[in-house]
């Protein structure tokens, strides 16, 4: 779908949610191949008519070039031509955004040969990259940590210091409509190796359905962490937008069913996981926050601009179905705020895609692993995540910037040999 059409849907969403009659749309949407029957059943289970309409408009943006004109035609056929005309007016009133070469989110094939001078602009995007990510020298040096700063941080004296669970979804069911996440095993191996080096007991699970993911997370949250100082959860999967109260985004099981991030985080909060109260709970999410592709903006900068690592990248973006229940039980007895001591690090800004390469893994995990290796002995976690964000933001023709929701009360330093 063209960006102008996406923006028209977004600008007209409020009126569509208020007035759209969704019931007559389901059969025509399936007959024209815009949605599968399984997708429509998920939409129909989203809740009220308004919630179904809202999610339909969000998901429609992901359904290809023919989705917008087909939707307009179906609106007219079902007696809702006024809404079709409204969308046409919105589309015509929007300026046409500048067009970049069509970078479809498919696998990146890294080229080893040198590029001839007469390559096309699209071909010029597929350039060889170094075998190992480099952090600028001025950033990689790292000064010695002030002992007072460490003493004021979280206590990290246990060995192992905590448990780390890695959920790595690569292959998805055919009915889910989700693509294979090639390169994710590289991410998983890097994280497993890195957190073992940082004195964590690591458990890696691969290709789990949504309910299986929930059971693994619940199992971890219900274990006794009294003798440990920390807990880490890393999730590598397709991601999506979601309505939320606390933490945005959701991740998919291999069966195509979504799990909200805030549901995952709340398994470990002060109410649900008493043995981790007052201890840092760290979540690293390699997944898309939505379908938007960030084209960036031009800045004046003294630092050299990094070339794009490839012309064909894969994203982990898919639409999200609104959860039917979003109410959490209050924490009646807690000595600290319920969501305290939690940090959720996202590979990308909410609403935007997160890029992954077939041969190197994701940009986010690649830089996170590199920064942890070079700086964990001398810097706290938040400082390192700023480095990760800076390094990832410099990559690629399309842009990406990681970020975090931080509710830690103290500085966090990993244990290094």
**Which has the minimum average pLDDT: 170-184, 275-289, 333-347, 379-393?**
333-347
Active-site residue, selected from the candidate residues 91, 230, 273, 288: 288
Q: In this predicted model, which residue has the larger pLDDT, 215 or 340?
A: 215
Give the Cα separation of 37 and 31 in Å (integer): 10
Decide if 238 is catalytic.
yes
Handedness of CA 88, 94, 99, 105 (dihedral sign): negative
- The predicted pLDDT at position 396 comes to 62
C-beta of residue 211 within 8 angstroms of C-beta of residue 256: no
Q: In this predicted model, which residue has the larger pLDDT, 328 or 97?
A: 97
How many CB atoms sit inside 10 A of residue 15's CB? 14
- The predicted pLDDT at position 242 comes to 76
- The predicted pLDDT at position 319 comes to 40
Q: Which residues pair with 258 in a beta bridge?
A: 252
Active-site residue, selected from the candidate residues 161, 231, 238, 375: 238
Which of 11-25, 88-102, 141-155, 202-216 tops mean pLDDT? 202-216
- What's the number of CA atoms in the CB half-sphere (13 Å) around residue 393? 15
Query: Is a pLDDT exceeding 90 seen at residue 327?
Result: no
- The predicted pLDDT at position 45 comes to 85
pLDDT class of 146 with cuts at 50, 70, 90: low
Decide if 91 is catalytic.
no
- The predicted pLDDT at position 232 comes to 98
What 3-state class would DSSP assign to 363?
A: helix
Query: Is a pLDDT exceeding 80 seen at residue 55?
Result: yes
Give the Cα separation of 128 and 308 in Å (integer): 9
- Domains plus CATH for the chain? 3-93 (1.10.533.10), 146-296+309-321+336-407 (3.40.50.1460)
Which of 36-45, 59-68, 363-372, 388-397 tops mean pLDDT? 363-372
If you write DSSP's letter for every residue of 18-53 in order, what string do you get? HH---GGGHHHHHHTTSS-HHHHHHHHTTSSHHHHH
The tens digit of pLDDT for each residue in 87-144 reads 888 887 755 444 433 333 332 333 333 444 443 333 333 333 344 455 554 444 444 5
Over pLDDT 90: what percentage of the chain? 44
Query: Is a pLDDT exceeding 70 seen at residue 160?
Result: yes
C-beta of residue 101 within 8 angstroms of C-beta of residue 311: yes
- The predicted pLDDT at position 101 comes to 37
């Amino acid at each position: 779908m063209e960006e102008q059409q996406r923006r028209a849907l977004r600008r007209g969403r409020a009126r569509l949610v208020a007035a759209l009659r969704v019931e007559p749309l389901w059969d025509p949407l399936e007959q024209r191949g815009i949605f599968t029957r399984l997708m429509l059943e998920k939409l129909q289970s989203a809740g009220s008519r308004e919630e179904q309409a809202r999610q339909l408009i969000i998901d429609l943006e992901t359904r290809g070039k023919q989705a917008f004109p087909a939707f307009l035609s179906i609106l007219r056929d079902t007696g809702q031509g006024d809404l079709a005309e409204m969308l046409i007016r919105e589309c015509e009133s929007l300026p046409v955004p500048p067009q970049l070469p069509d970078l479809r989110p498919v696998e990146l094939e890294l080229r080893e040969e040198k590029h001839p001078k007469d390559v096309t602009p699209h071909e010029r995007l597929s350039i060889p990259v170094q075998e190992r990510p480099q952090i600028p020298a001025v950033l990689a040096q790292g000064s010695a940590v002030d002992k007072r700063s460490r003493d004021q941080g979280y206590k990290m004296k246990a060995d192992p210091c905590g448990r780390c669970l890695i959920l790595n979804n690569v292959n998805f069911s055919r009915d889910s409509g989700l693509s294979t996440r090639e390169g994710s095993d590289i991410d998983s191996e890097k994280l497993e190796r890195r957190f073992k080096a940082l004195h964590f007991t690591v458990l890696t699970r691969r290709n789990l359905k949504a309910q299986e993911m929930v059971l693994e997370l619940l199992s971890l949250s219900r274990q006794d962490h009294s003798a440990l100082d920390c807990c880490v959860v890393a999730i590598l999967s397709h991601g999506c937008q979601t309505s939320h109260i606390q933490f945005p985004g959701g991740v998919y099981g291999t069966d195509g069913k979504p799990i909200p991030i805030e549901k995952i985080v709340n398994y470990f909060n002060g109410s649900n996981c008493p043995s981790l109260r007052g201890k840092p709970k760290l979540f690293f999410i390699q997944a898309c926050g939505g379908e938007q592709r960030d084209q960036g903006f031009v800045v004046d900068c003294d630092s050299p601009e990094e070339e794009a690592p490839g012309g064909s990248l894969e994203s982990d973006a898919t639409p999200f179905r609104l959860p039917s229940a979003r109410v959490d039980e209050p924490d009646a007895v807690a000595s600290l705020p319920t969501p305290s001591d939690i940090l959720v690090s996202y590979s990308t800004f909410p609403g935007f895609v997160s890029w992954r390469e077939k041969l190197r893994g994701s940009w986010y995990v690649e830089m996170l692993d590199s920064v942890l290796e070079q700086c964990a002995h001398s810097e706290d976690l938040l400082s390192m995540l700023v480095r990760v964000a800076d390094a990832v933001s410099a990559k690629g023709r399309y842009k990406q910037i990681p970020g975090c929701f931080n509710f830690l009360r103290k500085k966090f330093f990993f244990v290094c040999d």
